Chain A
Amino acid sequence: GAVVSQHPSRVICKSGTSVKIECRSLDFQATTMFWYRQFPKQSLMLMATSNEGSKATYEQGVEKDKFLINHASLTLSTLTVTSAHPEDSSFYICSARDRDRGRVEQFFGPGTRLTVL
């Protein structure tokens, strides 16, 4: 149980385009999902917390207009990188908390590798 999927796994796009990444909890309901970014050989940094039916909470320094987050259902959150630039190239990972487990353990998706040319 507690499987999280992400789509796509890899995307290459031209500078200036927008890219949408989906994060799904496959076998559980997640009221809260999280989006992280990981640069090469570095640790994961939280970008934003996504709550179903409400606006996302962004970490300091993360531009909310650039990284649009939508959590429309208990199993789906999306991250849209708008007007992507080469410096946005990174590994994006989502996680979700199982609402019914009664604890705050997070389960992570396989990640999406974004390359902006």
Chain B
Amino acid sequence: GIQVEQSPPDLILQEGANSTLRCNFSDSVNNLQWFHQNPWGQLINLFYIPSGTKQNGRLSATTVATERYSLLYISSSQTTDSGVYFCAASTQGGSEKLVFGKGTKLTVNP
């Protein structure tokens, strides 16, 4: 099945800094989603982005499907951005099963 790898595993920033999180996947995808898991465990949908570029406020994401990677950009980070960011993907012709990466734990210090 598809493999999903995220980097870096941990990231510590000062408030106001920018960051880039990366997600590599091993197969063609029909779904790629980015999530933020808050301290209570809730997965917040950030982007549905199997290809292309999207922006939502301080966050943006780009997926280059032909090169099998996706990037999540966080600009002007805030302490509330802290948490774990997951990338998950499913393959074309598959059964819509999402495979999750191991996540990037982001800590934003004041």
**Chain B residues with CB under 8 A of A45:** 100
Q: Are A43 and B101 in contact (CB under 8 A)?
A: yes
Q: Are A110 and B42 in contact (CB under 8 A)?
A: yes
What DSSP secondary structure best describes chain A's contact surface? strand
A103-B48 in contact given A108-B42, A108-B43 (Cβ < 8 Å) = yes
Q: Are B41 and A32 in contact (CB under 8 A)?
A: no
Among the listed A38, A106, A110, which residue makes an inter-chain contact with B40, where contact means beta carbons less than 8 Å apart? A110
Distance, CA A14 to CA B102, complexed state (A):
31
Which range holds the interface residue count of chain A?
A: 20 to 34
Give min CB distance, B56 to chain A, whole Å. Answer: 14
Contact with B along A90-115 (1 / 0, CB 8 A): 01010101000001111110110100
Find the residue from A32, A44, A46, A107 having the highest chain B CB count within 10 A. Answer: A44
Q: Are A108 and B96 in contact (CB under 8 A)?
A: no
Q: Which of B54-89 contact A (CB under 8 A)?
A: 86, 88
Q: Are B96 and A97 in contact (CB under 8 A)?
A: yes
Give residues in A with beta carbon < 8 Å to B.
Answer: 2, 32, 34, 38, 42-46, 49, 57, 91, 93, 95, 97, 103-108, 110-111, 113
A43-B86 in contact given A93-B41, A108-B43, A110-B40 (Cβ < 8 Å) = yes
Give min CB distance, A99 to chain B, whole Å. Answer: 12
Q: Are A104 and B30 in contact (CB under 8 A)?
A: yes
Q: Are A106 and B95 in contact (CB under 8 A)?
A: no
Give min CB distance, A15 to chain B, whole Å. Answer: 23
**Chain A residues with CB under 8 A of B99:** 46
**Chain A residues with CB under 8 A of B90:** 104
Among the listed B41, B86, B95, which residue makes an inter-chain contact with A57, where contact means beta carbons less than 8 Å apart? B95
Among the listed B30, B35, B41, B95, which residue makes an inter-chain contact with A111, where contact means beta carbons less than 8 Å apart? B41
A111-B100 in contact given A44-B86, A57-B95, A103-B48 (Cβ < 8 Å) = no
